[in-house]
Structure 1
Amino acid sequence: MPRFSVIVPAYQVQAYLHECLESVLSQSCPDLELIVVDDCSPDACGAIIDEFAARDARVLPVHLPENVGLGRARNAGVARASGDYLLFLDSDDTLTPDALRAVADRLKETGDPDVLVFDYARTYWTGEAVRNQAALQLTEQGPAPFRLEDRPGLLRLLMVAWNKAYRREFVEQEGFAFPPGLYEDTPWTYPVLMTAESIATLDRVCVHYRQRRLGSILRTTSERHFDVFEQYDRVFAFLEERPELAQWRPVLFRRMVHHLGIVYSRRDRLPKGSRADFLRRARAHYRRYRTPGVPVPLRARVQHVLIRFGLHHTYRTLQLASALHRRVSRRTGKLLRGLRTAALRGHYRVQRCLPLRADRAVFAADDGRGHGCDPGALETAFRELAPHIRTAWVARPEHHHTIPPGPRRLVPGSAAYWTALARSRYLVSNTGFDPGLAKRRGQVLVQTGQGTPLGHIGLDLQERPAAARGRDFARLLRDVDRWDYVLSANRHTTLTHERVHPGRYTTLEYGHPRNDVLLTAGPADVSRLRASLGIPEGTVAILYAPAHRDYRRSPYRSLDLQRIARRLGPRFVVLARGHHAYDAPLTTSCGRVVDVSDHPSVQSLCLASDALVTDYASLMFDYANLDRPIVIHTDDWEAYDAARGTYFDLRAFPPGAIARGEDELIDIFATGHWRGSRSAQLRAAFRERFCPHDDGRAAERVVRRVVLGETELPPVVPLGERRPVPSAASALTREPLATVPHPAGAHPAAHAAALTDHL
């Protein structure tokens, strides 16, 4: 029995059918059957389907003797399906690469729910791709699976069949089937979501929804659009048969009014002269299905009034007035923004004519976030080693609380911000300043970078569009031309930067200033940090910090942290830190799993923890300076490498034990292999290659060279002579701290040997 049955009805789509079917058969999850239904198509669709069936046994062709329409063609495919889950795909659309693998992983993670809802992107004939605007409803935060009443916002998504995976037994048990008609998805999707006992979401684009230049059925002007009334009759008839679902009647009524308003107002739907008749029928449906006493949202009241009373001419007049108001508002807003921008540019030009202030320095990190990272460590070092330099920190107002006393606070885009950029001698950042910055003679720009790169950066991303996400490489090179100094922690970073960021800057291979605290902190600092995080004494704190996936809008959650904590027992605590690019936690704090995504200092979390679990985050290179255990979780290495690109195979040169799955990760900690001798050997080799200069004085060397002009800098402490503060767990017994059952049928010695192979 295959995992998936993908059902594709085909009718007059010979130009697109090849691409559609290839997108299914080339999936990295091959456990599928592809049921292609030829709806008696008059073109070459039938022959194309037979060609695919001849070369791939997973293709099941179905040829209907007469044309029955999209809904009934799907029903014919469902009747022949044998997979655990049903997926529908229109024959001019495509699955995105690895979509089924992502769906399979999410289904497993959420316990095989009745329905899994995933995302799509509209792809235009111009090549443009636009993601669904309601994608925020697909967040994977919170408990899953759930019921519709827990996430009613799902009803705001496009009500189509092809953005979901359905458990086949659930569909058969409920007797769901597609009716005939143009809007056949409506009486399928609403009942399915309302009836499902378990629903989950996948925040990933799995379908490319083709927007044809011509030929789209829904954009064809026809009286067939009157079919929408019959389909909503079916939806409300379903509610009448299921009294337990009566709570959804007001919601569906509002969705119906919204849908009718769209069909009525779109100029490409209804034939000329039929709008008044459509509005009369809409008024009848409004009165038939309205639930008295249920409030109508303020923003929808005008639409409800016009449909309720059938005010055809009033509706058209208000539409025109609304369009005019939007146009005027846009132009007015654009004018005001233009005037403000012009004023600030004029102010900046004036300030650039004034003398440069040699005692001023401006710092920024992560595009306006709080005080931290390498610029934060350098700002502190400026004040300590060069007290004659007055510092300022650029951050958005919501992050000003992270700025310590001392530096002046600047808001990006303000007049004070432009004054500081125009007249400060030193500019320090790990990303970049405003593109309007015109570097003056005598200004010194220090680019600290964002750590040792494993994934591709700079110009190497030109060949990785999923990771680049429309990055402006011309602007990148303009930024590079402004750099005077670039910081590096090792030879690998130096060689990579100088190749992918070609410029005339000087590389300072001094180490990363942000890591100084990892070498200078003491046991009292560790105790204080653990107490502030609520880590009980005698426990092992695991810091989990996965890498940013450029191609995802929400954190990649491949591990069930609650399950891991339960399996490892009370002597382990998990600190979960999501990447700041998502602005979302990895998990909810519960018991021995603590979300620390909002903690202002990742270095403090490193000091407080006893081990790091990550996949491809550059944090591993920083953490190695502590000489504490690191465990690498590489469950999706191939996908990450394909999307982002990597500079070396982490699996061949890891900083510690490697886990390829959740159970393997649990075993590594439960058996003590996470801090075994083999893990220590791997970490030592990793530190020798990537941590040669991080001895606690990197920031001092930068300030002495760049600001004080010294050439005789403090020598680097050899790796063997460094004494980073020990972790709290280093004093605990070396016996395994937890016990988990061995796999069924496996001898304990054989199981331990298998684990050793992964180290």
Structure 2
Amino acid sequence: MSSEYDISLSIIVPVHKVQGYLRQCLDSLLVPDVPNLEIIAIDDASPDACGEILDEYAERDSRVKVRHLTDNVGLGEARNVGFDMATGDYVWFFDSDDYATEGAVKAICDRLAETRPDVLMFDYARSYWNGRVKRSIINHLFREPPAPEVFTLADRPSLLEMFTSVWNRAIRREFMIEHGLRFNSGYYEDVSITYPVLMAAERVSFLDRVCYVYRQRRSGAITKTASAKHFDAFDQYDRIFAFMDHLGPRMDRFRPVMFDRTIWHLLVIIERADRVYPSEKQRFFAEMTKTYNRYKPTGHVPPDDEPGLAEKHRAIERGDFKAWERLNTPKLATKAKKRGRKVRRLQKQGVLRSKEVAKERYYAMRRHMPIEENLAVFAAYWYRGYSCNPAAIYEKVREIAPHIRCVWIVKPGARKTMPEGVEYVVAGSAEYYRTLAAAKYFVNNVNFPDNLVKRPGQVHLETQHGTPLKKMGLDQMEYPVGAADMDFKALIERSDRWDFLLSANPLMSEAWERGFPCKYELLEIGYPRNDRLVRATPDEQARLRDELGVPEGKTAILYAPTHRDYQRRYAPMFDIGRVMEQLGDDHVLLLRAHYYYKLKNMAADLGWNEDQVIDVSKHPSVEDLMIASDALLTDYSSVMFDYANLGKPIVIYANDWETYKLTRGVNFDLTEFPPGVVAYAESELVDAFASRAAWGDAAAKNLEAFRARFCPWDDGNAAERAVRRVFLGEELPPMPAPAAPSAASSTAPDPA
């Protein structure tokens, strides 16, 4: 393989339960200008869609090599498997939920070619779930004092102060083999590699550049999980000091630095609230004392660069757990400061009106009453009425779990829309608060209000209300136009109440993992609201067309556009009257405006021919409209993913696709992987229907590929699966993997 480089790089990526982040990771590494590159991805028996994503990338790019493991072996052993497969001159061990910065891979290869080191160190940044990105706090070590092109640990002992992860360095492969360096199992498998490579290296080089972004996930990091496995750190540091013994007397000068680094890390582990169980802290501390006295260098002086650190060292040395506890107790002043902030926040909010205070007191009082084990609350679209996934689940609860009493919450104005026989309470009423306090189950397709308090024992099922072509949740932070003034902290606090979150397809699963990083169980079961579509019959279609007033023999096009965040008010993206005039009397448009828009009768208000344009914006069931229609016209609405289940034509009008991508953000390129015909201009839109291209072979192939990818679990039984898992507590068998995208019918979607 020819290249401007005569060195090659193998990037080893162990993969386990990171389906929401894996595409960004791989995309950041597969740069086009570095051909002497191989990505070795180890699927460590990942239970989610990671394996399918890896295979998809391997099919597209020959530089990706995938190994699927049948058993979960852990990060260390998975890295060893990848290392044994590697052929590059250098290896870079990369975590699959992180990503490289733009230009990083090329910059690393350039530096490797220039300096030919045993180890190349480069900088990293931490990316936090709230959108903050911060360069490493040790970045000054790359410049103080200025480093030569290559050096050793003896020239720069501060190397041992660098972060103990293996992903901030590229290592010469033969060098690792010569020194027998392999990863161990356990939580801290990096430690026994990161320090030894620096100790043994005869040539170290620096790249003063942020190349790696370390994602500080809100949940999912094993080292941030309380477990007895954190005791693994002691074995790993034993290996470090044994390696120093192996290298001989030349390591003596580094023992004080390595010793202080060891105690620093052990203190981090024991002092973080999310690592060692409180009941195990004294035992962990006793192991620290053993480590301290086993490896303490002669003449060691405890460091005093942090307040109380020297005292902590002395407490560890003499095994005085109570003294360490006193030194580690949070100060009362900190608590007082937090109380002061809370008081000031309440002052800013102002005094609540007495009626609201009375409601909150009543709600608080009712929360002391027992939970009613067979009471379930249902809601949809901010209490707008009976619809969507909650309605489908409600109907199935009534069928197979009739012992559950189901109560809907609606706004006062929505009472008249409720079906006969459906019990409901009005939001804000005394019965509303009593029901919130008492219910065992909560089902909604949006979040409940902030003032809802989730009691221990209550169960929340979040269904969402569509497949997210657009960015959702925390993903919106990069798109301020779409996010507007959204409070992401409050959003995540609301989402923390979820026990279950529905997913209808792998794209949805990936998006929810990134957008809502909370501790729910992801139910990959299909969409309950689509059960009707899968089971729809010609007789049902005929009945619904008659109810809507669609003349017999006419082609009924359902037009369901989405909301655009960059528009303040509704403005059609094409001249509806002119388009319908060109299509002729044999076409009827069922106009379903987004519910954000408040118009009484759009056709009448805007002067369109009401014989051709039927305004169905206020129709209570979009499923009825989908079944009644002959084809769908939309832009970027999630309705396309539902409609695909019907197997009927879909036309995408994407005249502002680039603007929508920039302002709202999308999860894949719809124009590259459409469910049918894509039109960019009004004339193309007319032609799609007038020429019957929407019913043609090319459109049908696109729809087939789209349906295989985005409707894999919609088999008519999604609602039943939801009820059995949530309300009846049954375990569900895994759903079948979706079919891989067909290269013959369309290209695979590239996440944007």
TM-score (norm 1): 0.50
TM-score (norm 2): 0.50
